[in-house]
């Protein structure tokens, strides 16, 4: 049995009987999240890019638990310099970690640590994750791109697609609806919306449009769990 838990914004937990993964672990300063970094015990942390609301507390959690941060190489290098355990990957690459398999996918966005040095952290990514015979696609922060159809949707039977709908800095609902058409997942879960006023959206409206395509759409509130 595989369990997916939404922790707000773009952060999700994936738990199987043997393995626990967290994606984009922004917890402490996440207004949607009540879980603290010190409450997290996982095997790996998957980070799509270096922005504060995605890298979040990954380095702190890795240093405390020795959990591996899986990220694009430049971001992984940054985390390693600060004492985290890392596994470096690049877009298009995949790796079998034993209890789960991961492939890095493109994401059209930016990636940097926004401090006085504006540290560049490589290309942003999304993740295809195969775990317990299920395929989960976390798109990361991205706009719509045609590989969603020709590389992802046509090649992988996606069970769950986690798609941003917030607009302005990621796909808005209209482009996300096209992404659903191209990806052909069994179920869609919207993410990266309503955390800030700038990305305010109506998920119920998005859900209604997705379901006209014959695809299930589940709106999760922070803390909600879904058994896959």
**106-158 pLDDT, tens digit each:** 999 999 987 767 789 999 999 999 999 999 999 999 999 999 999 999 999 99
Residue 140: half-sphere exposure toward Cβ, Cα within 13 Å: 29
- Burial of residue 143, with CB atoms counted within 10 A of its CB: 0-12 exposed, 13-18 middle, 19 or more buried: middle
All structural domains of the chain with their residue ranges: 3-220
pTM (whole model) above 0.95:
yes
Q: Rounded mean pLDDT of 173-178? A: 98
What is the model's pLDDT at position 117? 75
Q: How far, CA to CA in Å, does 61 sit from each of 18, 29, 91, 131?
A: 19, 14, 24, 22
- The pLDDT of residue 34 is above 90: no
Write down the CATH superfamily of domain 3-220. Answer: Ribonuclease Z/Hydroxyacylglutathione hydrolase-like (3.60.15.10)
pLDDT in tens, 66-96: 999 999 999 999 999 999 999 999 999 999 9
3-class SS of residue 167: coil
Do residues 21 and 42 make contact, with C-beta atoms less than 8 angstroms apart? yes
């Amino acid at each position: 049995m595989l369990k997916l838990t939404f922790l707000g914004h773009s952060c999700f937990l994936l738990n199987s009987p043997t393995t626990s993964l967290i994606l984009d672990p922004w917890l402490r300063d996440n207004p949607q999240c009540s879980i603290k970094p010190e409450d997290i015990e996982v095997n790996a942390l998957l980070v799509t890019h270096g922005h504060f609301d995605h890298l979040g507390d990954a380095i702190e959690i890795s240093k405390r638990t020795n959990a591996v941060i899986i990220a694009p190489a430049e971001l992984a290098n940054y985390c390693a310099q600060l004492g985290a355990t890392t596994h470096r990957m690049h877009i298009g690459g995949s790796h079998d970690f034993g209890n789960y398999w991961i492939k890095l996918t493109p994401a059209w966005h930016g990636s940097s640590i926004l401090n006085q040095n504006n540290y560049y952290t490589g290309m942003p990514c999304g993740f295809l994750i195969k775990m317990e015979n299920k395929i989960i696609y976390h798109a990361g922060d991205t706009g719509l791109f045609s590989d969603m159809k020709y590389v992802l949707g046509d090649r992988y039977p996606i069970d769950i697609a986690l798609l941003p709908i917030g607009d302005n800095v990621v796909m808005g609902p209209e482009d996300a609806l096209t992404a659903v058409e191209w990806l052909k997942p069994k179920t869609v879960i919207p993410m990266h919306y309503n955390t800030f006023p700038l990305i305010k959206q109506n998920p119920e409206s998005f859900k209604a449009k997705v379901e006209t395509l014959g695809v299930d759409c589940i709106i999760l509130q922070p803390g909600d769990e879904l058994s896959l």
